[in-house]
Structure 1
C-alpha cells in the first residue's frame, strides 16, 4: 500500500507558489475572468436597470427609512437577471474545471507551463462531467437522506410515545450528524476523481474509491488541516485589513463612515457609482488574487495525495471497480 504524508500534501500549494511566484498574478487574473466575471456579468449588462432599481433604495437609506425589497423596479430587475443567473452555473463549472486542471498540471507536470497551465480542452470538458456527476450524487444523497431521516426520526418519536419535542430534536440532530459523517467520508473517498480524470485523460469517478482504500483517516486528517489553515488565513486577512484601516485613519470612525455613505447615497446614482467604481475594481482584483491562492492551497494537497498514491506501479494498476 502506498504511503501518504499529510505534511507533504499540505505544503503542496506553498511549494508551488514558492517555485513559481508569477502564478499568483497570472492565476489571480484568470480567476477574475473565470470565477468572478460570470457572477457579475448580469450586473454589468443590466447596469442601467440596476441603477434605476436601486436609486430609490439608496434614497430611502439616506433618509433613514427601510427600503421596500418588493418594489416594482426591484422585482422587474430580478426577473431580467434570471437568464444571467442561469448562465452562471455552466460558466462556473467550466471555470472551476479550467482552474483545477491548471493546478493539476502545475503539481504533476510542472514542465508543461504553456499559458500558465491554463487551457480548455478535453480534460476540462471531462472535469465538467465529473462535477455534474458529483452534483447529481449529492442531490440524490440529500433527497434519500431526508426521506430516510424523516422516517427514522418519526420512528424514534413514536417509540418514545409521540411526546416531547426534545426527543424529536435530539433524534433529528443525531440523524443529521450521522448523515454528515457518511457524506464527508464518501466525499473523501471520491476526492481523487478529478485529478485522475485530468491525468488519465478519461472520465473517472468511482475509480477513486479503490485508489483511496485504506487512506480514509489520512484524507480526513488532511481535510481537517486544510480547514484549520483556511481559518488561520481568514484571521490573518482580517488582521491585515484592520492594520490598514488603522494606518489609513479609518478605525474608530465608523460613525463618520456611515455619515459619508449616507451623503454619498443622497447624490445621483451616476455620482456615487463613479466614486465607488475604482474601489470596486481594486477590490475585485485583490479578491481574484486571494481567491486564486486559496483555491490552489485547497486543491493542491489532494492532487499531491494522488501523486503519492500513484507513485508506485501497484497503485497505478489498482482495480477500477473494486469497492471497500
Structure 2
C-alpha cells in the first residue's frame, strides 16, 4: 500500500506555484530572457535552415526521410551548441526545483544557483536518458531480428518486442524518477539508488506522473487559448492564432512580429509551468516518503 496520495502528488506543482509566486515569476522571467536570446542567436545564424526544416515538415504529411535528414544535417552546428546550453539550463531549473521542495529554507536568489548541484542534475538527466535510450535501442534491435523471420508471425513478434521495450522504458523511467532528488539530497550523482526508494510504488507513481502530464497539457492548451483570443481581439486576424503557435524563423525581422513577440513572451512561462507540474511530484513524493525532511547524506554514488 502506497504511503502517499497519487492525486495530491500530481497537483504538487500547482501548490508550489501558489506558495512561491515570487520565485516562480523570477524563474519564468529568466527563462523568457534566455529563450529570446537563444532564439535571436539561432535565427541570426541559422534562420533560413530552421525555416526550411519547419516548412518542409509542416507542408508534408509524409516527409521523405532522406530529405528530412539533409535538412537536419544543415542544423548540426546549432544542435552542437544547443546541447550544452540545454544541459546547463535544465540543470539549473531542476536543481532549483529540488531545492525548493527539499530545502525550502534555502531561498537565496529565488533558489537559482550555478554550481556543482546544477552540474550533478545535468549529469543525472544525461545518464538517465542514455539508459532509457539504450533499452529502447536494444528492444528495437530485438524487434528487428524477430521481424526478419518474415510472415505474420515475424511481424507479430516484432510488434511484441517493440511494445515490450516501450513498457520496460516506462518502468525504468518511473523507478529511476527519484534519481534527481536522491542526487540533490546526497550531493553525489546517484542513479540506481532510486530503485530501492521506489520499490513497490510503481503503480501509484505512474498514476501520479500520468495525471501530472495530463494536467500540464490542459494548462498549456488553456494558456494558448487565452493568448490566441487576445491576439484575435487585438488584430482581428484569424491567421494570427497559427502564427503564434509557430513564429517565422527565417529572419529576425520576420520573427519579431506581434505574434512572434507574444510567443516569445509566453514561452518562458509555459516552460516553467510545465516543468513544475510534470516534475514536481517526484521530489514531493520522495520528501513525503522520507517523513518530510531529508535524512543525513549517504556515502557513495550510483
Q: TM-score, normalised by structure 2?
A: 0.77
Matched, 1:171 2:183: no
The answer for unaligned runs of 5 or more in structure 1 is: 59-74
SS of alignment partner, residue 199 of structure 2: coil
Instruction: State the partner residue of 1:197.
Output: 183
Are the aligned partners of 1:210 and 1:321 in contact in 2 as well (CA < 8 Å)? no
Question: Could you tell me how far 1:299 is from its partner in structure 2?
Answer: 1.4
Matched, 1:89 2:83: yes
CA RMSD in angstroms comes to: 3.9
Q: Take 1:149 and 1:250, find their aligned partners in 2: how far apart are those partners? A: 52
Q: Take 2:23 and 2:83, find their aligned partners in 1: how far apart are those partners? A: 26
Question: Could you tell me how far 1:231 is from its partner in structure 2?
Answer: 2.8
Q: In structure 2, do the counterparts of structure 1 residues 196 and 86 end up closer, same or farther at CA, with 3 Å as the change threshold?
A: same
Matched, 1:308 2:258: no
Instruction: State the partner residue of 2:103.
Output: 109
Where do residues 22-41 of structure 1 align in structure 2 (5 Å cutoff)? 22-33=22-33, 37-38=37-38, 40-41=40-41
Where do residues 145-184 of structure 1 align in structure 2 (5 Å cutoff)? 145-154=139-148, 157=149, 162-164=150-152, 167-184=153-170
Instruction: State the partner residue of 1:63.
Output: none
Q: In structure 2, do the counterparts of structure 1 residues 257 and 152 end up closer, same or farther at CA, with 3 Å as the change threshold?
A: closer
- Misfit runs of 4+, over 6 Å: 51-55, 75-78, 312-322
The structure, 1 or 2, with the larger RCO (C-alpha pairs under 8 Å, 6+ apart) is 1
Q: In structure 2, do the counterparts of structure 1 residues 53 and 306 end up closer, same or farther at CA, with 3 Å as the change threshold?
A: closer
- Aligned residues, how many? 281
Question: Could you tell me how far 1:208 is from its partner in structure 2?
Answer: 0.2
Are the aligned partners of 1:35 and 1:92 in contact in 2 as well (CA < 8 Å)? no
Question: Could you tell me how far 1:133 is from its partner in structure 2?
Answer: 1.4
Question: Could you tell me how far 1:198 is from its partner in structure 2?
Answer: 1.1
Which of 216, 229, 246 is 1:243 aligned to? Answer: 229
Q: In structure 2, do the counterparts of structure 1 residues 122 and 135 end up closer, same or farther at CA, with 3 Å as the change threshold?
A: same
Are the aligned partners of 1:2 and 1:308 in contact in 2 as well (CA < 8 Å)? no
Q: In structure 2, do the counterparts of structure 1 residues 35 and 170 end up closer, same or farther at CA, with 3 Å as the change threshold?
A: farther
Are the aligned partners of 1:104 and 1:198 in contact in 2 as well (CA < 8 Å)? yes
Q: Take 1:222 and 1:19, find their aligned partners in 2: how far apart are those partners? A: 20
Q: Take 1:243 and 1:199, find their aligned partners in 2: how far apart are those partners? A: 44
Are the aligned partners of 1:2 and 1:309 in contact in 2 as well (CA < 8 Å)? no
Q: Take 1:21 and 1:320, find their aligned partners in 2: how far apart are those partners? A: 36
Instruction: State the partner residue of 1:18.
Output: 18
Question: Could you tell me how far 1:146 is from its partner in structure 2?
Answer: 1.7
Q: Take 2:186 and 2:286, find their aligned partners in 1: how far apart are those partners? A: 12
Q: TM-score, normalised by structure 1?
A: 0.73
Q: Take 2:266 and 2:151, find their aligned partners in 1: how far apart are those partners? A: 55
Question: Could you tell me how far 1:78 is from its partner in structure 2?
Answer: 7.1
Instruction: State the partner residue of 1:280.
Output: 260
Q: Which 10-residue stretch deviates more, 8-17 or 276-285? A: 276-285
Instruction: State the partner residue of 2:205.
Output: 219
Instruction: State the partner residue of 2:277.
Output: 297
Q: Take 1:77 and 1:147, find their aligned partners in 2: how far apart are those partners? A: 24
Q: Take 2:2 and 2:255, find their aligned partners in 1: how far apart are those partners? A: 57
Q: Take 1:188 and 1:171, find their aligned partners in 2: how far apart are those partners? A: 26
